[in-house]
Amino acid sequence: MSLLPTFPPALLALADGTVFRGYAIGAEGSSTGEVVFNTAMTGYQEILTDPSYCRQIVTLTYPHIGNTGCNAEDFESRANFAAGLVIRELPVQASNWRMGQTLPEYLKEHGIVAIAGIDTRKLTRLLREKGAQAGCVMAGANLDEAAALAQARAFPGLAGMDLAKVVSADQPYAWSEGEWDLKAGYRPVEKRPFKVVAYDFGVKRNILRMLASRGCDVEVVPAQTPAKDVLARQPDGVFLSNGPGDPEPCDYAIQAIQEVLAAKVPTFGICLGHQLLALASGAKTVKMKFGHHGANHPVKDLETGQVLITSQNHGFAVDQATLPANLKATHVSLFDGSLQGVSRTDVPAFSFQGHPEASPGPHDLAYLFDRFIRLMQDKKAENA
């Protein structure tokens, strides 16, 4: 008698006709989305709850996923937004002092369709060669390969898809929780002298924590909040969050950002917020072949020459060739040379394509939050 758990069968069908078969480790059913690969070794719970992964099926390239289980603290948003999960191997036993449940238990509880036992190296090579693929992950006793292929081919892709307003909060809310502490966990920050309005295009909680820990009294507002409502709050700064989908259809956000910039309010953007800041300044964005997803991406700071290891999660990028005179490139990827950061030359605004808040990943770029604080300090001194 085997002591190993048994799992139902599962398959992953790609729009190009490729089918991978494995076993189901999550909810039964099917889910479609854009299949991408992430090279992070851990942080799967943060990845699943990152709104930037909305409508994406995430393949984790590290071979063993689930070693540390899941817990009640590592949520990056109010829900799980990833469309599905693909891994090579599920460990027989999970163990960690913070663990509350195993990865399969977590996936089933939250209705996430997931497959294990496939050749993720082969899948990753395919995605690198052909680009991100529409796919369908199907799990359960009654698999229908033809139906899975049909669902994969029916997925329209992320280009032209505005998902920021889908994942955004529908009401404003305040945020005061600071960064995680080994002894106390998460706790409120008392002294917060800077009033910051954060646009929620799919914001991660660790971004808000890093702002609060640096003295920001944060109010999060929905993605479609007009600029006049934000400016009426008289913020010291405006933050433009990360988020999923194509930035170009987000005309409501582009218009609002243009008005915020015209008011010369210090502004900081991350990920989708970076792309929207660039679009609002006159640049263009492009869909990448397979994007950047991982926690080990080297980026060069063009101002200091320093090389930094960053967390990345994006399928679109700002086209450096289209930068107008008022935008200066500040960071570039050392993997493919793509633009990673910009700064406005005429107003106090800058942005970064990757994730300086990590979660998961390195904190090499945390100094960008300090730069935002300095911009607000300078503006306050100017107005004093």
Residues making up the annotated binding site for L-glutamine are 52, 243, 245, 272, 275, 313, 315-316
CA–CA separation, 215 and 49 (whole Å): 25
The residues with which 38 forms a beta bridge, in sequence order, are: 60
Among candidate residues 34, 136, 271, 314, the one labeled active-site is 271
Strands (E), 223-368: 237-240, 267-270, 285-301, 307-318, 327-333, 339-344, 349-352
Which residues make beta-bridge pairs with 149?
none
Please choose, from the candidates 318, 170, 164, the residue with its C-alpha nearest in 3D space to the C-alpha of residue 252: 164
Active-site residue, 355 included: yes
- 28 among known catalytic residues: no
- Which of 240, 291, 289, 290 is CA-nearest to residue 267? 240
Q: Phi, psi (5° rounding) for residue 104?
A: -60, -40
For strand 173-175 and strand 114-116, is the pairing parallel, antiparallel, or unpaired?
unpaired
Question: Is the separation of the CB atoms in 221 and 197 below 8 Å?
Answer: yes
Phi, psi of 50 (to 5 degrees): -80, 115
Binding-site positions read 52, 243, 245, 272, 275, 313, 315-316
**49 phi/psi in degrees, rounded to 5:** -100, 5
Q: Which of 46, 76, 248, 357 is catalytic?
A: 357
From the list 274, 292, 293, 355, the catalytic residue is 355
Structure tokens at 325: 């005179």
Instruction: Tell me, yes or no, if 190 is annotated catalytic.
Output: no
Q: Contact 167/81 with Cβ under 8 angstroms?
A: yes
For strand 327-333 and strand 339-344, is the pairing parallel, antiparallel, or unpaired? antiparallel
Instruction: Write out the catalytic residue numbers.
Output: 271, 355, 357
